Structures are given as structure tokens and as C-alpha cells.
Amino acid sequence: MDARLIDKSKLPSRYVTEGPARAPHRSYLYAMGLTKEQIHQPLVGVATCWNEAAPCNISLMRQAQAVKKGVAAAAGTPREFCTITVTDGIAMGHNGMRASLPSREVIADSVELTMRGHAYDALVGMAGCDKSLPGMMMAMVRLNVPAIFIYGGSILPGSFRGKPVTVQDMFEAVGKHSVGEMSDDDLDELEQVACPSAGACGAQFTANTMATVSEAIGLALPYSAGAPAPYEIRDRFCAAAGEMVMELIAKNIRPRDIVTLKALENAATVVAASGGSTNAALHLPAIAHECGIKFDLFDVAEIFKRTPYIADLKPGGRYVAKDMFEVGGIPLLMKTLLDAGFLHGDCLTVTGRTIAENMAKVSWNPDQDVVRPATSPITPTGGVVGLKGNLAPEGAIVKVAGIPADKQIFTGPARVFDNEEACFEAVTKRDYKEGDVLVIRYEGPKGGPGMREMLSTTAALYGQGMGDKVALITDGRFSGATRGFCIGHVGPEAAIGGPIGLLRDGDLITIDAIKGTLDVDLSDEALTARRAEWAPRPSTATSGYLWKYAQGVGPAVGGAITHPGGAHETKSYADL
């Protein structure tokens, strides 16, 4: 359908651009150099997370120009705007990390407000780092105007003494350095070469996991998630996304026509098959909530149980996103899963076609070993397991991708820490023993607040060669870069009196990822007696956004959303 035939009288932007009463509004648009023709065309918000905070988002300004060319070529008028980001790689390991997960909400909220306030007819959402991807997708389904997602692309691998390296090597180098296994000079040299370009962390950490989701859930064009940020081919995907969003307006295809329960299941399936980040178990429920679909941590974990882990990606495997793109991209993974019956092929996507139709011309690439056939997986089930037990009545999650089955059961005495810094200090001083279960609590969504990631601690453990000799449990969460037996999202969290808050040093904890259990060797009576002595701790956030966040945020099991009791809005502003 020709976008020039779009009936403007039914679009939201008519409230801004049409009729004599809107003459002042048009004046403002003329003030920005728009022509009469451009003012009366559909207005398309091009939301980017561009900023100079981190390499993940730095190329989005360039890519946004390509999106705008695509929109303009299809007779639309692009209006670019930016939202915030907090980049985990730089926010982690200190108090700034508390801002990370809350930033997802601010991104969704701020995109919503600009879109509503300016009555844009459609949205191209561009994002490049861990929280900006789910935040942007949440905004898309919340607003439910025609929308398409574009990822900023991943970083290129670095090279250190002839070997490819990623930022994961950098974090683990800190642990090696702390025990004298790496010199100051080597640390200095590595930090200068580990991240050689623009783009998000290159392994299947949270950004690439959610980028994989963007294609699998149907909100992004096939192949668009895979191309690294510096590749100029990204600009072609961006231009195509700009043109495609105009078609979505013409056909009135909206995000909630695309993000159905089956689409969420497809998304969780590709996360499982690629050994993706446990953060998907937070973000998929949050996206689902925006369209009124119940899809929680256990729904994600259920899919992991029945999905083969077939993409050999770091941190559990050998390859990075660039390698995946070069052998066939996300479509190769999706086609493999589709042919083996693990994906719903009838889900609609932003191409206006179904997943199966999009994959019709994708063929198996025999000259690669990044993606394996579904019949010979790396492990027969996905890399993440949901846990429940007397220590996590509401649930918890553990990533087992890359961990041998005989190491997926762990019993040991608790070493309890009331924040990450205390645990990190103990680890760097080697003040723990092989066999310990390190417990980091009061780091949940409400307690942190902000559910920090514990990558500094887990990377330090790995750097010391102890990553598989201890276990770690927390009501906080882990980075996609985390390795080791690390149990996150333990709920209810300590701040609201969950059992994790009742633990004492020496309590015997058993984690059984085969059975899916997380228990402490204490009777119900003993836990009840300890609960009677427990008192809530004053929050570290007493003002500002983090205080506001702590008041409203819900549990990790439902995605740590800030409007857990609120129903999603059934009508888009486009229909009012």
C-alpha cells in the first residue's frame, strides 16, 4: 500500500497539524524548517537512546539519520528525540548500578510521554544497551501505535596478544590482578584493547539477548539485530525500518497485534536456545505486562526446560554476536528452531508477514558451528532454570549454560552479606572458603533499590579461579556476562521479609538446578522464629527517583515493574 494514501484524518497527529485551531502548533513546526507538505504527512517519532555515556549507544545518532531517510522516502515526517540510558558496564560495581534497572522504567515512561504529548503517529525505537532495549520495547507495546524496533548493534571483539577478547576478559582480569596473576602493565594494556569499537557488549549478555528477542518477538526486521554497530550495513536496516514503519501505519499493524503470548514464548525460546541472559526473565514479563499478558519468571523457565541450547555464544560458549551475524544471523537460529518445531511460525511480525513466511528463504549453513542442529544441541535443555523452595517461595533463577550437570547441585554453608560491596571486599581479600554459598541480600528491586547486578563479584571469583568452587545467591541479579553457579532474583526479597533476609552465617543451603529447588536446612518453625525477630531495614534511598521507585516497584517474578497493580491501558492514544 502506498503510504501517500494514508488517511491523515484518522491519525493522532491531526490534533497537532490539522485545522485552523492548530495554526500555532504548525508555526512551531515551521520554526524547525518543516515544509507544509512535511507538516501534513504522518509524523513518526524516532526515539533513540543516543548519548556519550557508553559505546553501546554512541552510534545511534548516525543510525537515526538512516531511519529518518527511510521514513521520508516513504512520505512520512520523522521527528527524532532522545531518552536517557544508564549503561551497566560503567554503572556496575558501585552505587550507580542502583540506577540501572530503574532506568528501564524511565526510558519507557519518557518515550511514552513524548509520543503522547506530540501526538506522533508511529514510532521507530532505537536502543543499544541492556535496559534501553526492554525499555523501548515496553514503550512500543504500551503506546500501541505502529512501531518498529532497531538495535544499535554489538561491539567488535578486541585482540590481546593475538587472542580475541571481550569486556568479559576485562572484568575477569580484575580478579586475576587482585591475586597477583596479572601485572599492572598487562591490566593497563588489556583495558585499552578490550573494547575496540562502538556497540553493545559482544557476547550473549543482556543487550544481545534482548536484541535476539526483538527479532524473535516480531518487533524488529529479520537480520537487523545481528550486524555490529560499526558496520555500515546497519544503516540499510535502519532505512528499511523507517520505510517499513510507514507501511505499518498504512496497514494499521500495531505492536500488540505482534506481541502475543505465542510471540513471548518464541522470544523466550530463542533466549533459551542461545544461552541468553537471565535478565530476559525480568524483561519479558515486563513487556508482557504492558499488553496485559501474564508471563512471569516461571513461564520463561518452563520454556527453557523444553528448548535445546544450540547457539555456541559467549559467555558460556565460544562465539560473539559478530560471528553469529556472519554465519546467518538470528534468522539462522530461528529457522533451525522453527524447523524442529520449537517456534510458533504463525506469529505476525513487523514485516507484515509471519515468522514462518520471513524464514521461508533461510537455509541451513553447513559451514559453521556457531549454531548447531536442534538434534545435536550443546545441552538438551536451555541454559536457565527456575528454582523454588523454602528459601525462594516466590522463585529464583540460575543460569546453567556451560555448567556441567554434575556441578548443578551444590550444598554449602552460607556466608551472608547485606550488600554487594561487603561481599566484593571479602572476595578480593580471599575471605571466603571453597564450598561456601555466598549470600548477597537487600539488593532486590525494592531493597537495593534497583536490583543491582553482581558482575564485579562473580568476575572477581572467576578471576581467582574460584568461580566454580563456590555458589552465590542474591535477591539482586546477574549480568549476562556472569559465569559460575549464581542464583538471582530470589523472592520474596530480603527488604520485605523474604527468607533470604533470615539467613545466618553457617546455615546449610542446597541448590539443585536439576530438580529446580533452592532450600535452607531450617524447619518452618525455625524460620518463623527468626521472622519474629526480623525488622525491616531503613532504605538507602530517601529521596529522588530511587525513593519513588522503591515505593512502587513490584517483585522480580513479575518483571520488577513499577505499576504492578495497574492494568495495562487497553486503548492507544491513537484511538482516542
Binding-site residue set for [2Fe-2S] cluster: 56
State the sign of the Cα–Cα–Cα–Cα dihedral 341, 347, 351, 356: positive
Burial class (CB in 10 A: 0-12, 13-18, 19+), 129: buried
> Is the separation of the CB atoms in 151 and 209 below 8 Å?
no
For the range 183-187, what are the long-range contacts, defined as Cβ-Cβ under 8 Å and sequence gap of 24 or more?
Answer: none
247 binds ligand FES (CB under 6 A): no
CA distance 508 to 513: 16
DSSP strand E in 51-118: where? 77-82
CB of 35 to ligand FES, least distance (A): 38
Closest residue to ligand FES using C-beta atoms: 89
Taking the least distance from each CB to ligand FES, the nearer of 280 and 387 is 280
Among 64, 137, 207, 350, binds ligand FES (CB under 6 A): 207
Determine, following the binding rule CB under 6 A, whether residue 205 of this chain makes contact with ligand FES.
yes
130 binds ligand FES (CB under 6 A): yes
For residue 123, which of 197, 46, 68 has the smallest C-alpha distance? 46
**Of 479, 523, 539, 543, which is the active-site residue?**
479
Find where cell 551472608 sits.
416
Residue 131 CB, nearest distance to ligand FES (Å)?
9
Per CB under 6 A, the segment of 81-89, 303-311, 428-436, 504-512 that binds ligand FES is: 81-89
Site for ligand FES in 482-541 (CB under 6 A): none
CB of 351 to ligand FES, least distance (A): 26
Note whether 129 binds ligand FES by CB under 6 A: yes
Q: Which of the stretches 173-181, 200-208, 278-286, 545-553 binds ligand FES when contact is defined by CB under 6 A?
A: 200-208
Please work out, in degrees rounded to the nearest 5, the angle formed at the alpha carbon of residue 32 by the alpha carbons of 30 and 38: 60
> Does 201 help bind ligand FES (rule: CB under 6 A)?
yes
Vertex 490: Cα angle to 489 and 496 (nearest 5): 110
SS3 content of the chain, % helix, strand, coil (to 5): 45, 15, 40
Number of residues that bind ligand FES (CB under 6 A): 11
Nearest to 242 by CA among 25, 54, 488, 3: 3
The smaller minimum CB distance to ligand FES, of residues 266 and 479, is found at 479
Give per-residue burial for 131-141: e unless 16+ CB within 10 Å, then b: bbbbbbbbbbb
Residue position matching grid coordinates 517519532: 45
Distance, C-alpha 509 to centroid of its chain: 29
Contacts with ligand FES, 27-56, as mask; x by CB under 6 A: ---------------------------x-x
Is 159 an annotated catalytic residue? no
By beta-carbon proximity to ligand FES, the closer residue of 207 and 384 is 207
**Residue in 200, 337, 397, 454 binding ligand FES, rule: CB under 6 A:** 200
Q: Which is nearer to ligand FES, 149 or 205 (CB)?
A: 205
Nearest CB to ligand FES, comparing residues 87 and 458: 87
Nearer to ligand FES by C-beta: 54 or 111? 54
Could you say whether residue 126 binds ligand FES (CB under 6 A)? no
Place of cell 528454582: 387
> Are 153 and 227 a contacting pair, CB within 8 Å?
yes
CB under 6 A: which stretch of 83-91, 189-197, 297-305, 534-542 binds ligand FES?
Answer: 83-91
Among 76, 78, 89, 135, binds ligand FES (CB under 6 A): 89
What span, in angstroms and rounded, lies between the C-alpha atoms of 222 and 224?
6
Report which of 57, 64, 61, 111 is spatially closest to residue 85, judged by C-alpha positions. Answer: 57
87 touching ligand FES, by CB under 6 A = yes
Residue ranges in contact with ligand FES by CB under 6 A: 54, 56, 87-89, 129-130, 200-201, 205, 207
As annotated, the active-site residues are: 479
